Amino acid sequence: MRLPSIVALWLVCLLSGFALPAGAQEPVRWLAHDMQRPRPPVVAPAASDCPAPPPADAVVLFDGKDLSGWRDAEGGPAKWIARDGYMESVPNSGYIYSAGKFGDVQLHVEWAAPLPAKGRSQGRGNSGVFLMGLYEVQVLDSYDNETYADGQAAAIYGQYPPLVNACRPPGEWQSYDIFFRRPRFHADGTVERKARITVVHNGILVQDNVEIWGPTAWLQNRPYEPQEPKLPISLQDHGNPVRYRNLWLRELPETPPAGPPASEPPPVVALSTAELQEFVGAYKTLLGDFGKIELHGEQLQLHMETGQVIDLIPRSPTEFAFRWTAAKLDFDVRDGKVAGFTMHLAGDKYPVKRVGG
Ligand code: MG
């Protein structure tokens, strides 16, 4: 593209309210709460999927009876109301914090905005679910309620609008299913991995494994700071009586690091082309054709009747491992001739006979 075209593109983007990256690796960022930012399309969710009871290994954060699992900011009793199977935020009573501390979680939340709806924009049915007390998944009555895109229901507040607006009307129960990986820090306190989050709102994907920039905040851009690996989950009092019920989570194990298999494979033996050639031929089971063993260059391959082509790695003069699978062939060699093999796969053994060279 010639230079004048690039300048023109910048101008068009700036004038139309779009942000351009400063460098090739920089994500496109809007200023927080920009009313120019397009609102996500509205998608009506299916009929209610609530309540979703907890699975067997869940930690139940609120069982509908009392607030014994929650604290106020000073560690005292939570001052919200619990009744009729739900809890409700009490204006000016403050945020509440789970008694337990958590890091990586699958978190299920059901909430309902006040009915009748009162107020507008951020003043209608506002609350929030804060992972580790730092990263807010916005709770807001976004049903027919205009506000900035990164502040509507299921936004990562001030950072990521939801992919769609899947809000139910006020008074109806809605669900968030949140999948959260906490940030990781190096020993010197610098960020090793930012937090990541996926959110499903009323059965619809609204945040797709997005990378959180830092703790969410109003009018600020807070950087990551070293933090404990587990912290309480908090719920926001924003002055509106929002209800919650059926809060449970599953603690997620560490993601196993990518790398070589857990067990080292036994050493590979070197077989000559002539030795490898001895295994080439057609093979059958009692049920019919099994496949063929072929030699391509120095690579012995099993071509199964079912279509799979498998590289065979010699582990001994008569034992060949599959290259990518925990399986092997033990060849039966009689009087210097290959008579067949036993395939070992997933704890089972399959006898296979050779029918032609
Ligand atoms: Mg909020």
pLDDT value of residue 23: 39
Number of domains in the chain: 3
Same domain for 203 and 79: yes
> Which of the listed residues 219, 251, 283 is the one where a domain comes to its end?
251
Same domain for 349 and 235: no
Measured in Å, residue 262 CA sits from the centre of ligand 1 at 44
Confidence band of 27 (pLDDT split at 50, 70, 90): low
Measured in Å, residue 217 CA sits from the centre of ligand 1 at 10
pLDDT value of residue 258: 67
Confidence band of 268 (pLDDT split at 50, 70, 90): confident
Above 60 in pLDDT, residue 260? yes
Greater confidence (192 vs 48) lies with: 192
pLDDT value of residue 220: 87
Find out whether 252 and 106 touch, Cβ atoms under 8 Å. Answer: yes
CATH number at residue 299: 2.40.128.50
Domain housing 6? 1-29
Same domain for 216 and 106: yes
Above 80 in pLDDT, residue 180? yes
Measured in Å, residue 13 CA sits from the centre of ligand 1 at 30
Residue 266 lies in a domain: no
Same domain for 119 and 97: yes
Residue 5 lies in a domain: yes
Q: Which of 36-50, 75-89, 102-116, 303-317 has the lowest mean pLDDT?
A: 36-50
Same domain for 180 and 45: yes
The one-letter code for the residue type at 193 is R
pLDDT value of residue 17: 40
The radius of gyration of the chain's CA atoms, rounded to the nearest angstrom, is 30
CATH number at residue 90: 2.60.120.560
Above 80 in pLDDT, residue 253? yes
Same domain for 54 and 20: no
Measured in Å, residue 346 CA sits from the centre of ligand 1 at 50
pLDDT, mean over the chain? 90
Q: Tell me how far apart the alpha carbons of residues 55 and 28 are, in angstroms, rounded to a whole number.
A: 39
Q: Which of 40-54, 222-236, 287-301, 327-341 has the lowest mean pLDDT?
A: 40-54
Measured in Å, residue 114 CA sits from the centre of ligand 1 at 14
Same domain for 239 and 313: no
- pTM > 0.95: yes or no: no
Q: Tell me how far apart the alpha carbons of residues 274 and 322 are, in angstroms, rounded to a whole number.
A: 21
Above 70 in pLDDT, residue 357? no
Which residues face 70 on adjacent strands? 98
Measured in Å, residue 121 CA sits from the centre of ligand 1 at 11
Above 80 in pLDDT, residue 287? yes
pLDDT value of residue 28: 62
Measured in Å, residue 22 CA sits from the centre of ligand 1 at 30
Residue 104 lies in a domain: yes
Measured in Å, residue 58 CA sits from the centre of ligand 1 at 25
Same domain for 339 and 279: yes
Residue 259 lies in a domain: no
Instruction: Kindly state the tokens that stand for 110.
Output: 């059901």
Give, in degrees to the nearest 5, the angle at Cα 332 between 331 and 335.
130
Residue 258 lies in a domain: no
Measured in Å, residue 238 CA sits from the centre of ligand 1 at 6
Residue 268 lies in a domain: no
Residue 148 lies in a domain: yes
Same domain for 14 and 98: no
> Which of the listed residues 218, 251, 284 is the one where a domain comes to its end?
251
Same domain for 53 and 25: no
Same domain for 319 and 179: no
The one-letter code for the residue type at 203 is G
pLDDT digits over 301-347, tens only? Answer: 999 999 999 999 999 999 999 988 999 999 999 999 999 999 999 99
pLDDT digits over 11-24, tens only? Answer: 443 334 444 334 34
Across residues 63-80, what is the average pLDDT? 96
Measured in Å, residue 21 CA sits from the centre of ligand 1 at 28
Residue 257 lies in a domain: no
Same domain for 233 and 84: yes
Above 90 in pLDDT, residue 193? yes
